Structure 1
Amino acid sequence: MITRIGVLGGGRMGAGIAHAFLLAGCDVTIVERDAAGADAAHDRIRDLLTRSAARGRLAPGSAEFRTSTNVSGFADRELVIEAVPEDRALKTDALMRVEAVVADEALLASNTSSIPIDALAAALAHPERFLGLHFFNPVPTSALVEIVTGSATAQATVEQARACVDAVGKTPIVVRDSPGFASSRLGVLLGLEAIRMLEEGVADAADIDRAMELGYRHPMGPLRTTDLVGLDVRLGIADELHAAFGERFAPPALLRRMVAEGRLGRKSGEGFYRWDAS
């Protein structure tokens, strides 16, 4: 079984992914772009581990990890998961830098939620060992991981990835590479329509969310989910899907305006709801 894990990017998603593997007993290295980012990632993951220990899910001090600013720290990793912001050029560059230092048998994965895997794989020398591992936010409480296969992804790579997902206590689904895959394509479409309804004054945000929570048993409504994911992230995904599938994924003017104003959801303290700064 794969136990030596690397995570490139220690933001909310990267930290959550690292935390999931640490709970499974894996050896984890996280690389950030600078010292400040590495320190922030360390504090973020340590806080997640402390909470897990308080809930009895982890013996205090039993999970150790390393943070670094140099991708050479991935040289001995068996699997490296890229979790940098949802930008095609940024992800491509990150994956190329990682591929240059890992062992020939190491697996590479992207946590992208919308960028086609084949588009990212085109820059890699060994696309057969590359695939998407799409974790969901917040990682600690989400049960699903989407395994996204590119046209060159080897079946052995898929099976190893499936075993990793099982090991961290998540449920894998395997989907063919397509813009937005399964989850983002469906979730974003619902979220965009909810934003249009709010824009048109059909109902307020809380009632739109309650319609899905109580009427369709969604654990969280589409507008609160958008706040949690980040309005900027959702806009980036919508732009990708708009380019691929046309007007049904066109981002509403309200979404663009809120992003321009810095109202990004929970991470900024305000989106469709107000959030406690803590």
Structure 2
Amino acid sequence: MKNIAVIGAGTMGNGIAHTFAQFGYKVNLIDISEESLDKGMKTISGNLDRMVSKEKISAADKETTLNNITTYTDIPKGVKEIDLVVEAATENEDLKLKIFKQLDENCSAETILASNTSSISITKIASVVSNPERVIGMHFMNPVPIMKLVEIIRGYNTSDKVTKSIMELSENLKKVPVEANDYPGFVANRILMPMINEAIETFYNNVAGVKEIDTVMKLGMAHPMGPLQLADFIGLDVCHSILEVMYDGFKNPKYAPCPLLTNMVMAGKLGIKSGEGFYDYSESKKAEKVSSQFS
């Protein structure tokens, strides 16, 4: 596989495009918004600048990586003669099904279709594709250029050949692929999201403050980031969506989003990307004292 298309220029999409391009793949980065594409490319350039400053790559490597990426606002044009498509759009089932229908209509029958979904059924996504054996989950972790894990999710019909190809491809990116079966939340979020949700419940029940909860988990459990700061980093809307998928899938109340999480999402307090979540990012762009609104 040499030619890759990535759909979605947001946090995950631009990180995936960056990673493939850095390892010499030709990447078509696709988004319906020219503004989103410009923002995504600016993010990639900035991340490459940091790698240059840390002497992890050269300035020439940066230019080569950027030159490996071409942007498109049109899916049919962007997926022409592509070996692999990685969908990294918003975590919304209807949107993903719509995209995969388009991919089925515009891609070669040999093109592997992967989704970066963090919770939505690969089998359900594959149900709208004429040959579902080529559909697979390729769940990268954020930030993609740094994090080593890639969850490889086999749908009910995913072929051994496709799975083997994607496992090998992930290793070519210097990642560690781990295979999982297709159940809500897969492995990573089935374990992570209930912990985040319980941390929110702990704050909601006034057991301790945001900073205190995060400090306990960082110093007591050796987590690099506390669960509430991590929720801000992931996006509270994304956390909420994943919990809803698991709640719908398992019909188990332990996966029901905490009422505080629901209210924060409705109020637009989504974490880093909105400037405020459990911490205030409006000034320094990094976690600070919790907003008085939630203290």
**TM-score band, normalised by shorter chain:** over 0.9
Is 1:107 the counterpart of 2:112? The answer is yes
Q: CA deviation at 1:248?
A: 0.5
Aligned length: 277
TM-score w.r.t. the length of structure 2 is 0.90
2:263 counterpart of 1:257: yes
Q: Are positions 1:139 and 2:141 aligned together?
A: no
Equivalent in the alignment of 1:69: 73
Aligned to 1:120: 125
Any idea what SS the aligned residue of 2:145 has?
A: helix
CA distance in 2, matches of 1:69, 1:54: 32
What residue number does 2:49 align with? Answer: 50
Q: Secondary structure at the match of 1:62?
A: helix
Cα displacement string for residues 137-173 of structure 1 (whole angstroms, at most 9, x for unaligned residues): 2212212110000010001101110111111111111
**Shift in Å at residue 38 of structure 1?**
2.3
Structure 2 spans left out of the alignment, 5+ residues? 287-295
| Gap runs ≥5 in structure 1 | none
* Alignment partner, residue 29 of structure 2: 30
Contact 1:20 1:168 in 2 (8 A): yes
Q: Which residue of the other structure, out of 277, 280, 286, is the alignment partner of 1:274?
A: 280
1:25 and 1:52 map into 2 onto residues whose CA distance is 16
Whether 1:168 and 2:170 are equivalent positions in the alignment is no
Q: Deviations over 1:171-196 (max 9, x none)?
A: 11100000100001100010000000
Aligned residues of 1:41 and 1:67 also touching (Cα < 8 A): no
State the AA in 2 paired with 1:21: F
1:222 deviates by: 1.0
Counterparts of 2:266 and 2:221 in 1: how far apart (Å)?
32
Moved more, 194-203 or 33-42: 33-42
More displaced stretch, 15-24 vs 47-56: 47-56
Separation in 2, partners of 1:11, 1:235: 18
Distance 1:88 1:209 in 2: 31
Deviations 1:106-160 (A, max 9, x none): 1110010011111111111111111000111221221211000001000110111
The alpha-carbon deviation at position 277 of structure 1 amounts to 4.3
Percent identity over the alignment is 36
SS in 2 for 1:93: helix
The structural deviation recorded for 1:52 is: 2.5
TM normalised by structure 1 equals 0.96
Kindly provide the amino acid, as one letter, of the partner of residue 270 in structure 1. Answer: E
Is the partner of 1:191 in helix, strand or coil?
Answer: helix
Q: 1:96 to 1:53 in 2, by over 3 A?
A: farther
The residue aligned with 1:21 is 20
* Aligned partner letter, 1:257: N
Q: Describe the shift of the 1:54–1:25 C-alpha distance in structure 2 as closer, same or farther (beyond 3 A).
A: farther
> Match for 1:264: what amino acid?
L
Query: Match of 1:235?
Result: 240
Q: CA deviation at 1:35?
A: 2.1
Change (3 A) 1:57 1:102: farther
Alignment of structure 1 residues 153-232 onto 2, 5 Å: 153-232=158-237
1:37 positional shift = 2.3
After the TM superposition, which of the residue ranges 93-102 and 123-132 deviates more from structure 2?
93-102
